[in-house]
Chain A
Amino acid sequence: MNPNPDPFENDLRALQRRTLPAEWRDEMLQAAAQPPRVARAPRWLVAGWSLAWAAILVMYFTTPAEPSAPQAAGVSETAPPLLWQQRAAAIEALLAVN
């Protein structure tokens, strides 16, 4: 950009910057060559977590099955109208008393 830098600029440019200590080279290149550390959960946490899951699975497979689902579903489908009828009857009985 500036084809004729002034002599002051040239004199500054002529000063040699210091080089780095030789031992830094190996130190830095070795550190750079290390595989990245993956953040891992502590071993006790992993062991505890695994044990908890194992216990859950054991309980799941050893517990007898619940009563069959269709029956329960049948009850739940018929329950609301029955409840409404009972509730309406109770309200009417109360009104009749009063």
Chain B
Amino acid sequence: MPAAPTLPELYDAHAAGLFHYFTSFTGNEADAKDLLQEFFIKLARQQIPAGIASMRAWLLRLAHHHSIDWLRRHRVRRDAEEAAPVEMFATHEDPDQAELAQRLTRALALLPLEQRSVAQLKLWDGLTFEEIAEVQGIPLNTAASRYRYALEKLRSELRPLYDELKPS
């Protein structure tokens, strides 16, 4: 059985993904950073089990509970959904990609929290629907349908730009 990873190893491998996941709940960077900080403090004080099949999914499950606790404490779900979108993507040199990234950030901010978080887990964290269902404590079909709805909304929001960029 492989040894449990150290905290710096976990940070290097997963902090960015966790931060983006927290951002989908908080809607702003400062709160997401605080959540990430609290999350690592919490992680440092608990036994990290060795031999976990998917460390990413395990951490995201903890992160999901952490985010739900945060939402309960702060009761800012509405504010988070209405806040200005946090820049999520790296700066792209290709102007078309940069434009797509910017529009996508705005389109993601328009999605309901449930769909946005599922889309993030599927598209950029590479989780399967089974893992997403486990992370969020929802049925598999719910995870799949939330993703489908999210993707359709993103497609319709981005269609004009996407169709314009596609031939190139």
Q: How far is the CA of A33 from the CA of B7 in the complex (A)?
A: 9
Q: For chain A, what secondary structure do more than half of its interface residues adopt (helix, strand, loop), or is it mixed?
A: helix
Whether the Cβ atoms of A15 and B40 lie closer than 8 Å is: no
Flag A17-36 by CB within 8 Å of B: 1 or 0 each. Answer: 11110001101110111101
Whether the Cβ atoms of B123 and A1 lie closer than 8 Å is: no
Given contacts A29-B7, A32-B41, contact A24 B123 (CB under 8 A): no
Is A4's CB within 8 Å of the partner chain B? no
**What size tier do the contact residues of chain A reach?**
20 to 34
Q: How far is the CA of A28 from the CA of B40 in the complex (A)?
A: 7
Question: Which residues from chain B sit less than 8 Å from chain A, CB to CB?
Answer: 7-8, 11-12, 15-17, 19-20, 33, 36-37, 40-41, 43-45, 87-92, 97, 100-101, 104, 123-124, 128-129, 144, 151, 154-155, 162
Query: Which of B36, B104, B123, B124 gathers the greatest number of chain A CB atoms within 10 Å?
Result: B123
Whether the Cβ atoms of B40 and A16 lie closer than 8 Å is: no
Q: How far is the CA of A16 from the CA of B100 in the complex (A)?
A: 12
When the two chains form the complex, which single residue of A11, A24, A33 contacts B44, counting CB atoms closer than 8 Å?
Answer: A33
Is A13's CB within 8 Å of the partner chain B? yes
Across-interface contacts of A44 in B (CB, < 8 A): none
Q: How far is the CA of A13 from the CA of B128 in the complex (A)?
A: 14
